[in-house]
Amino acid sequence: MFRRWGWSFRDFEEIDLFSDRYDTNAQTLSQAIRAAATEEPDADGSVLFGQMKGTVVGLRYYTGVVNRGEMVGLVRQPQNPYDRNAVMVANVYGHQVGHIKKELAAAMAQIMDNNLAKVEGVVYSGTNNAFSMPVTLSFWGKEENKENVTKALARRGFRLETSVGSGSGSGGNFSFFLQLKNAFDNLFEGLMESKDGEKEAADAVSTPLLPHQKQALSWMCARENKSSLPPFWEKRGELYYNSLTCFSSKEVPERVRGGILADDMGLRSILTHFSRVFSGGDPTIPDIPEDPSATATLIVCPLSVLSNWLDQFEQHVSVNVKLNVYLYYGSERNRSEKFLSSQDVVITTYNVLSADFGNKSPLHKINWLRVVLDEGHFIRNPNAQMSKAVLELKASRRWILSGTPIQNSVKDLWTLLAFLRLKPFDVREWWNRVIQRPVTQGDRTGLQNLQTLVKCVTLRRTKTSEVNGRPLVVLPEKAVFVEQVELSPEERAEYELANSEGQKTIRRYVAEGSVLKNYADVLAILMRLRQHCCHPDLPTKSSSDSSSDATPAELRQRLIEKLRLVLVSGSDEECSVCLDSVRFPVITHCAHVYCRPCIAKVISTQEERARCPLCRSDIRQNELVEVPEEEDTGGNTKQWRTSSKVQALMGNLLRLRLNDQSIKCLVVSQFTRFLTVLETPLREEGFSFVRLDGTMTQKRRAQVIQDFQSSSSDGPSIMLLSLKAGGVGLNLTAASHVFLMDPAWNPATEEQCIDRCHRLGQKKKVVVTKFIVKDSVEENMVKIQKKKQDLVEKAFGASSNSKKSSRIDDIKTLMEITI
């Protein structure tokens, strides 16, 4: 196996919330940071220093062979007993080919061990003997290390050729970048293969299949059973040859049994049919060579859709077939391997899986017949424990369900393709060299290769897809209205007070050039303004703005408030060290949030001066601040009062009810406290409602969804939904009206939420109302939303400096500051 190239999570750049180029769907700062943190520095921040010829020796001692033009890996062997500078040469499959000649190895060892450059090898020409062969070495790294590397080589008598311009990142004009961006966006479009036809469900399935479901079923059967070669493999005489890496092998390359269902229509239902058909051993489908050692189907999903799976199995059960479905969840879960492998289907969550991982996990011992990853984008960060846990599962067939397979960039795909074992790209080095770097640098061929790879393993249908010119499904239309809200004079006065204070502070930061250093403050200011737009009681009492002569106690109190603000405001913060949701949150003096154990580790490994991984301010262990237990939820002892936005919503709801009693509505806000505020007038007006937010247990959540979806006449007609909880997978088709109470930073987040009801199964026309307060930060947010798409495209090739300034410009736009 290859030693992977190491990099540090501290290498990422500062990220903004408003226009980050990393994640067009980012809704929290941390998501953006996570996106950046997982960016491999060598993959797209790197430049080509130059190339040189080297020699691979010792061929006769090893079995690994290479073809002309084949890429080889260079792996340091510091433990080599003969030479601690040894550099091993291996082919794509990891078979050793030989070593780099020792003089050159000495120079390379110095460069590689100090992370000055990453070295890649290609064997362009053959050899005329059995002992050694030439190899072309390319040195890649950060611009600032170029001179060091060149000198280190020169010192030992090696010269880098720089004239050969193989790096194509340079000549990127703007429109070309846009073209690429579009091509990338469309990666998953047009992947319809209608030739597979439709397949009837087996007798085991009680509900009849819709045409698009039949089609998916048949595609899946083909993917599990057709024996075609994986993408870029072809047969050449007796050998199998990979045209991207030029690797060849006598053995048939392992094919991918499975794929990605990048579909937003009834994925789980299809999979339910699928596993029922195959796990139930349906006799009408004889063409599956069963692996006798393989066992059950394992389904891994986020907690939020667990109940959906259980429902699906429930719903599609035909009474005469006994299907064992086991929910591997909760502290009482049965960890017996024997028991688990005797099931037809085992369902678990990513969290349970990663908690078990490395801890005698029974799930990792079983050879599953099939593993299904639901909401596959949950594992898009390859460094996360979850992803590692998932990649270690043993299975003969592998499936990924994801409505959004690509969230922001190419690298999101790696974990997915690695899970599918799409050789050789399940090894990062080959993925980076052959796909990721070329694509990031704007290489058309790289993008085409990526498209081919994805195409081969993906079934993509959207609600607008067509088969043979006919739409797969016909959804009712959707209308979106923006309703302007005017603040009352009192609200306006309070708003303007907060606004002018905020402007003053931010102006100072802008003048000092310290906007990014004080980002948490800026966020806090914006947050307060947004809250003011919703309801005067939403903003928490502020300890006023930051006078610089604050006592340590005051400072601490302010930090606690900031932390609470961040954690309570409906943004699911993630720790940018472990890239997971924060556990045991602490806040640094520079106001960044981490898990306590994570940041403690950072501090202990950085001797002398520890620096904040996000802003590089000095941090100290004893200055980390924890949020104390919530004394009183909300602290709303005051008399309830209304707000203009509340009035606007209530007016709509009452009018609708008058018109048609049966209409159901989603009322969506980013602020859970606003949802709480809304409960009072809803009760007063006699509305029956349920509430769904991130704090609820799975059981409660499932209950609420079921209640809301039920068609009983005395059931709830309104769901109060926190934007965060309204993620993908949720099915709320009982609602036909959506009220978005406050604008999100990212329009895609709003779209996603709307799609909870505008999806397969919706019978009515969907009406969306967005409330925007006139002359407020909300209007400016809408401007930013519109600008955002443009910025993302520009940022595809923009320098980090221009990104920084556009971020500051955004803040100025939001605060209407002109300097």
Q: Which is nearer to DNA, 94 or 715 (CB)?
A: 94
Residues in binding contact with DNA, number by CB under 7 A: 18
- Kindly state the helix (H) or strand (E) to which residue 351 belongs, with its residue range: helix 350-356
Q: How far is the CB of 10 from DNA (least distance, A)?
A: 32
Q: How far is the CB of 350 from DNA (least distance, A)?
A: 42
CA distance 419 to 161: 38
Q: Which is nearer to DNA, 60 or 365 (CB)?
A: 60
Instruction: Yes or no: say if 176 and 443 are a contact pair by the CB < 8 Å rule.
Output: no
Q: Is residue 53 close enough to count as binding DNA by CB under 7 A?
A: no
Q: How far is the CB of 59 from DNA (least distance, A)?
A: 8
Site for DNA in 530-549 (CB under 7 A): none
Tell me which amino acid residue 636 is: N
Q: Which is nearer to DNA, 48 or 100 (CB)?
A: 100
CA distance 313 to 269: 8
Annotate 600-654 with three-state secondary structure: HHHHHHCCCCEECCCCCCEECHHHCEECCCCCCCCCCCCCCCCCHHHHHHHHHHH
Q: Is residue 71 close enough to count as binding DNA by CB under 7 A?
A: no
**Out of 85, 432, 576, 676, the residue judged to bind DNA by CB under 7 A:** 85
Q: Which is nearer to DNA, 98 or 405 (CB)?
A: 98
Closest CA to 312 of 731, 753, 711, 698: 731
Q: Is residue 102 close enough to count as binding DNA by CB under 7 A?
A: yes
Query: Cβ of 196: how many Cβ atoms within 10 Å?
Result: 19
Q: What is the largest CA-CA distance in the chain?
A: 90
Q: Which is nearer to DNA, 121 or 259 (CB)?
A: 121
**SS3 label, residue 517:** coil
CA distance 819 to 806: 14
Q: Is residue 640 close enough to count as binding DNA by CB under 7 A?
A: no
Q: How far is the CB of 255 from DNA (least distance, A)?
A: 34
Q: Is residue 715 close enough to count as binding DNA by CB under 7 A?
A: no
Instruction: Yes or no: say if 814 and 782 are a contact pair by the CB < 8 Å rule.
Output: no
Q: How far is the CB of 109 from DNA (least distance, A)?
A: 9
Q: How far is the CB of 362 from DNA (least distance, A)?
A: 41
Q: How far is the CB of 34 from DNA (least distance, A)?
A: 39
Q: How far is the CB of 802 from DNA (least distance, A)?
A: 45
Q: Is residue 57 close enough to count as binding DNA by CB under 7 A?
A: yes
- The 128-167 site mask, x for binding DNA (CB under 7 A), equals xx-xx-----------------------------------
CA distance 430 to 541: 53
Q: Is residue 83 close enough to count as binding DNA by CB under 7 A?
A: yes
Segment interacting with DNA (CB under 7 A) among 124-132, 506-514, 590-598, 772-780: 124-132
Segment interacting with DNA (CB under 7 A) among 123-131, 368-376, 410-418, 431-439: 123-131
**Out of 101, 364, 508, 657, the residue judged to bind DNA by CB under 7 A:** 101
Q: How far is the CB of 79 from DNA (least distance, A)?
A: 11
Segment interacting with DNA (CB under 7 A) among 57-65, 392-400, 679-687, 751-759: 57-65
Closest CA to 350 of 275, 405, 400: 400
Q: Which is nearer to DNA, 11 or 103 (CB)?
A: 103
Residues in contact with 97: Cβ distance below 8 Å, sequence separation at least 6, in sequence order: 56, 59, 62, 64, 65, 66, 72, 89, 90, 91
Segment interacting with DNA (CB under 7 A) among 38-46, 125-133, 521-529, 662-670: 125-133
φ, ψ for residue 214, nearest 5 deg: -60, -40
Q: How far is the CB of 581 from DNA (least distance, A)?
A: 46
Site for DNA in 203-262 (CB under 7 A): none
Q: How far is the CB of 112 from DNA (least distance, A)?
A: 13
Q: Which is nearer to DNA, 80 or 334 (CB)?
A: 80
Q: How far is the CB of 157 from DNA (least distance, A)?
A: 14
Range 527-562 burial, b when 16+ CB lie within 10 A, else e: bbbbbbbbbbbbbbeeeeeeeeeeeeeeeeebbbbb
Site for DNA in 328-367 (CB under 7 A): none
Segment interacting with DNA (CB under 7 A) among 98-106, 456-464, 585-593, 680-688: 98-106
Q: How far is the CB of 701 from DNA (least distance, A)?
A: 58
In DSSP terms, 51 is beta-bridged to 138, 161
Tell me which amino acid residue 661 is: Q
Q: How far is the CB of 50 from DNA (least distance, A)?
A: 22
Q: Which is nearer to DNA, 82 or 469 (CB)?
A: 82
Kindly list the strands in the beta sheet with 766-773, ordered across the sheet, starting from the edge strand earlier in the chain: 478-485, 766-773, 737-740, 665-669, 718-722, 689-692
CA angle 316, 320, 322 (to 5 degrees): 75
Q: Is residue 720 close enough to count as binding DNA by CB under 7 A?
A: no
Q: How far is the CB of 113 from DNA (least distance, A)?
A: 14
CA distance 505 to 525: 9
Q: Which is nearer to DNA, 79 or 712 (CB)?
A: 79
CA distance 165 to 149: 18
The distance from CA 9 to its chain's CA centroid, rounded to whole angstroms, is 17
Site for DNA in 445-484 (CB under 7 A): none
Sign of CA dihedral 683, 685, 688, 694: negative
Q: Is residue 86 close enough to count as binding DNA by CB under 7 A?
A: yes
Q: Which is nearer to DNA, 124 or 131 (CB)?
A: 131
Instruction: Yes or no: say if 297 and 370 are a contact pair by the CB < 8 Å rule.
Output: yes
Q: Is residue 110 close enough to count as binding DNA by CB under 7 A?
A: no
Q: Is residue 610 close enough to count as binding DNA by CB under 7 A?
A: no
Q: Is residue 98 close enough to count as binding DNA by CB under 7 A?
A: yes
Closest CA to 316 of 342, 287, 280: 280
Q: Which is nearer to DNA, 101 or 333 (CB)?
A: 101
Q: Is residue 58 close enough to count as binding DNA by CB under 7 A?
A: yes
Tokens standing for residue 620: 């100290």
The distance from CA 500 to its chain's CA centroid, rounded to whole angstroms, is 37
CA distance 448 to 70: 20
φ, ψ for residue 735, nearest 5 deg: -85, 145
Q: Which is nearer to DNA, 57 or 390 (CB)?
A: 57
The binding site for DNA (CB under 7 A) comprises 57-58, 61, 80, 82-83, 85-86, 98-102, 105, 128-129, 131-132
